Amino acid sequence: MFGWLTGFLANDLAIDLGTSNTRIFAKGQGIVTNEPTVVAVARDHMGTRKVSAVGREAKEMLGRTPTGIEAIRPMRNGVIADFESVSAMLRLLIRTLHGNRGLSAPRTIVCVPVGVTEVEKRAVKEAVSTAGAREVFLVEEPMAAAMGADLPITEPSGNMVVDIGGGRTEVAVISLSGIVFANSVRVGGEKMDEAIVQYAKRRYNLLLGEQTAEEVKKRIGAASPTGTLEEMEVKGRDVVGGVPKSVVLNSDEVRDALSETVSTIVEAVRISLERTPPELAADIVDRGIVLAGGGALVKNMDVLLREETGLPVMIAHDPMNAVVRGIGSTLDKMDLLSEIAVV
Ligand SMILES: Nc1ncnc2c1ncn2[C@@H]1O[C@H](COP(=O)(O)OP(=O)(O)OP(=O)(O)O)[C@@H](O)[C@H]1O
Ligand SMILES: [Mg+2]
């Protein structure tokens, strides 16, 4: 299908357009962009939208914007929720990379979650094209994660990868450069943050910002008991009185808040194991399961999955960048790309 494809050029790019973070890998250079997927949009008095900041700068504004400016997370559960904002963000990021060097429009390899609709895939292609790309190849995210984790995906043996992202968890069994079985659930790190917000509201009448909740998850959150009780002071607004207040949360409470999301992830892995063909299941018993994505960094996520499945569980090196490194590596491997690209 891609037989006419010639090698990629120096300005070509691999893009992981994630729910929480967007990363860009440039051929020959490695990861050149790593920014939160957030866009700040200003509206003038005529109601015309104009992007005023993207990435880290825009994320700082979440929950803190004055009237007239809106900080948007334009991706939801791994798919585009706000087409205009996504393509404006990508255009800005690509322009920043290419500067005024007068480079030709890049060819790009972009990831999409497995199990999204044709319409959702087409939206990604169009958003990246509108942002200035000359050509867009799509690769499924767990395939990219497996490559980034250095799994031997081209061999006739079963490799299981679990990518726990911000908006989605994807489980896939890969053999002979193809996805044999995949399961995708719409939960990930952001659901965990929401669960912490809900917990604080219910238990302490405290309204927390989503960035504070994310900090709590990273600092004292865990998927199963770690053996030490940790505490963290958090500040927010009292639901009843409306005044600012602070509360001390402990790691048992946070684990409790995360438990529903964590169970959904464990269940997705279990279902995938049950549906894996026996020969490949036997391979997974030997090789184990590899975790990628930011959710792999939740304390004891690996420990819990090991306990629940009885299989070896490893965290990929640099799990949050596994996907972009995986597709980035195909910028040098046209043959492989032609095997794994999807339409
Ligand atoms: N140390 C950590 N502990 C727990 N969670 C973490 C840690 N570091 C990052 N995360 C979480 O990982 C998530 C982001 O992961 P990642 O960048 O892999 O997602 P994404 O690729 O943007 O999303 P998706 O693949 O679902 O579209 C966020 O929810 C973030 O809070
Ligand atoms: Mg991801």
pLDDT in tens, 23-56: 999 998 999 999 999 999 998 888 888 999 999 9
- For residue 217, give the ligand 1 atom closest to its CA: 4
Give the Cα separation of 161 and 305 in Å (integer): 12
Q: What CATH number is given for 189-257 in this structure?
A: 3.90.640.10
Superfamily per CATH, domain 145-187+265-317 = ATPase, nucleotide binding domain (3.30.420.40)
What's the token pair of residue 308? Answer: 């629940």
Sequence ranges of the chain with CATH classification 3.30.420.40 = 13-37+73-142+322-340, 145-187+265-317
Q: How far is the CA of 186 from the centre of ligand 1 (A)?
A: 13
| Alpha carbons 77 and 186: distance in angstroms, whole number | 6
Quickly tell me which residue has 């957030």 as its tokens: 38
**Portion of the chain with pLDDT greater than 70, in percent:** 97
Report which protein residue has its CA nearest ligand 1's atom 21. Answer: 18
Q: pLDDT tens digits, residue range 60-108? A: 888 888 888 999 999 999 999 999 999 999 999 999 998 767 678 899 9
H or E segment at 174?
A: strand 169-175
How far does the centroid of ligand 2 lie from the alpha carbon of residue 37, in Å?
11
Between 318 and 1, the more confident residue is 318
Mutate to test the pocket of ligand 1, among 16, 19, 20 (most ligand atoms within 8 A of CB): 20
CA of 202 to the centre of ligand 2 (A): 30
Question: How many angstroms separate the alpha carbon of residue 334 from the centre of ligand 2?
Answer: 23
Ligand nearest to the CA of 296: 1
**Single-letter amino acid, residue 131:** A
Compute, in angstroms, the gap from residue 97 CA to the centroid of ligand 2.
Answer: 21
Query: Residue 121 above 70 pLDDT?
Result: yes
Whose alpha carbon is nearest atom 9 of ligand 1?
Answer: 294
What's the predicted TM-score (pTM) here?
0.95
pLDDT at 5: 55
Residue 1 confidence (pLDDT) = 47
| Atom number, ligand 1, closest to the C-alpha of residue 167 | 26
218 CA closest ligand 1 atom index: 3
Domain 13-37+73-142+322-340 is classified in which CATH homologous superfamily?
A: ATPase, nucleotide binding domain (3.30.420.40)
Helix axes 251-275, 210-220, angle to 10 degrees: 80
CA distances in angstroms from 211 to 63, 119, 311, listed in the order given: 9, 31, 34
User: How many Å lie between the centroid of ligand 1 and the Cα of residue 205?
Assistant: 27
Whether pLDDT at 228 is above 90:
yes
Structure confidence at residue 68 (pLDDT): 86
Residues with CB under 6 A from ligand 1: 18-21, 78, 165-168, 188-190, 214, 217-218, 293-295, 297-298, 320
Q: What is the pLDDT of residues 183-215, one digit of tens each?
A: 999 999 999 999 999 999 999 999 999 999 999
**pLDDT, mean of residues 287-307:** 98
Which residues place a Cβ less than 5 A from the ion ligand 2? 18, 165
- What's the confidence (pLDDT) of residue 114? 94
